[in-house]
Amino acid sequence: ITVQVNKPGDAVSKNMYGLFFEDINFAADGGLYPELVKNKSFETDDHLIGWKAIRGAAGLESYLVSTDRPISNANNHFLRLSVKTAGPDAAFVNEGFRGMGVKEGAEYTFSFYARKGPGNVGGVNVTLEQSGRGGPGPETPGSGKALAQAQITGLTTEWKKYSVVMKPSATAAKARLKLAVEGTGTLDIDVVSLFPKDTYLKRENGLRPDLVQLLKDMKPGFLRFPGGCIVEGRTLAQRYQWKETIGDVASRKPLINRWNTEFIHKFTPDYYQSFGLGFFEYFQLSEDIGAEPLPILNVGMACQFNSAELAPITSSTAKGPNAAGQGDEPTLETFIQDAIDLIEFANGPASSPWGAKRVAMGHPAPFNMKMIGIGNEQWGPQYLERYEPFAKAVKAKYPNIQIVSSVGPAPDGDLFDKATLKMRELKAEFIDEHYYAKPEWFRQNVGRYDNYPRTGAKIFAGEYAAQSVAIASENNKNNWDCAISEAAFMTGLERNAGAVAMASYAPMLAHVDAWQWTPNMIWFDNLTSYGTVNYYVQKLYALNKGTSVLPVAMPANAKNGTDNLFASAVADAPTGDVIVKLVNYSTTPRAVKVNLAGAKKVGKNGTAFVMASDDLNTMNTIQEPTKLTPKEEKFSVSGSTVSYTLAPNSFTVLRIPGK
Ligand code: AHR
Quote the ipTM score: 0.99
Higher pLDDT, 344 or 321: 344
Q: What is the pLDDT of residue 324?
A: 42
pLDDT for 86-132, tens place per residue?
A: 887 789 999 999 999 999 999 999 999 999 999 999 999 999 999 86
For the chain, domain boundaries: 2-9+548-656, 19-32+200-543, 51-196
Higher pLDDT, 322 or 386: 386
Name the average pLDDT for the chain.
Answer: 93
CA of 462 to the centre of ligand 1 (A): 10
CA-proximal residue: ligand 1, atom 6 (nearest): 228
Query: What letters, b where the CB count within 10 A reaches 16 and e where it falls short, cover 330-345?
Result: bbbbbbbbbbbbbbbb
CA–CA distance, 169 with 333 (Å, rounded to integer): 55
Choose the CATH number for 2-9+548-656 among 2.30.30.100, 2.60.40.1180, 3.20.20.150, 1.20.1250.20. 2.60.40.1180
Q: What is the pLDDT of residue 470?
A: 83
Q: What is the pLDDT of residue 325?
A: 43
Q: Is 229 in the pocket of ligand 1 (CB under 6 A)?
A: yes
Strands (E), 439-587: 458-466, 500-505, 509-511, 522-524, 529-531, 548-550, 552-553, 565-572, 577-584
Determine whether 262 is an active site residue: no
pLDDT for 127-143, tens place per residue?
A: 999 986 544 455 555 67
3-state secondary structure of 564: coil
Choose the CATH number for 19-32+200-543 among 3.20.20.70, 3.40.640.10, 3.40.50.360, 3.20.20.80. 3.20.20.80
Query: What is the spatial order of strands in the sheet that 590-597 belongs to?
Result: 552-553, 2-4, 590-597, 641-646
pTM above 0.90, yes or no: yes
> Is omega for the bond preceding 228 within 30 degrees of 0, making it cis?
yes
CA of 528 to the centre of ligand 1 (A): 25
Q: Radius of gyration of the chain from Cα atoms?
A: 27
CA–CA distance, 312 with 289 (Å, rounded to integer): 38
CA–CA distance, 193 with 250 (Å, rounded to integer): 10
Contact between residue 391 and residue 375 where contact means Cβ atoms under 8 Å apart: no
Between the two ends of the chain, the Cα-to-Cα distance in Å is 21
Q: Is the pLDDT of residue 596 over 80?
A: yes
Q: What is the mean pLDDT of residues 617-638?
A: 98
Q: Which atom of ligand 1 is nearest to the CA of 376?
A: 8
CA of 564 to the centre of ligand 1 (A): 29
Cα 482 → chain centroid: 20
> Which one of 26, 463, 518, 534 would you pick to mutate in the ligand 1 pocket, going by the greatest count of ligand atoms within 8 A of its CB?
463
Q: What is the pLDDT of residue 56?
A: 59
Architecture of the CATH domain 51-196: Sandwich (2.60)
Which of the residue ranges 133-137, 404-408, 502-506 has the most confident prediction, judged by mean pLDDT?
Answer: 502-506
Q: Pick the closest to residue 385 from 349, 426, 417 (CA basis).
A: 426
Q: Is the pLDDT of residue 326 over 60?
A: no
Q: Is the pLDDT of residue 58 over 80?
A: no
Q: Are strands 91-94 and 51-54 parallel, antiparallel or unpaired?
A: antiparallel
Percentage of the chain beyond pLDDT 90 is 85
Q: Is 377 in the pocket of ligand 1 (CB under 6 A)?
A: yes
Q: Is 507 in the pocket of ligand 1 (CB under 6 A)?
A: yes
Q: 56-65, 79-88, 224-233, 440-449: lowest mean pLDDT where?
A: 56-65
Higher pLDDT, 122 or 144: 122
Q: Please count the other Cβ atoms lying within 10 Å of the Cβ belonging to residue 320.
A: 14
Q: Please count the other Cβ atoms lying within 10 Å of the Cβ belonging to residue 23.
A: 29
3-state secondary structure of 4: strand
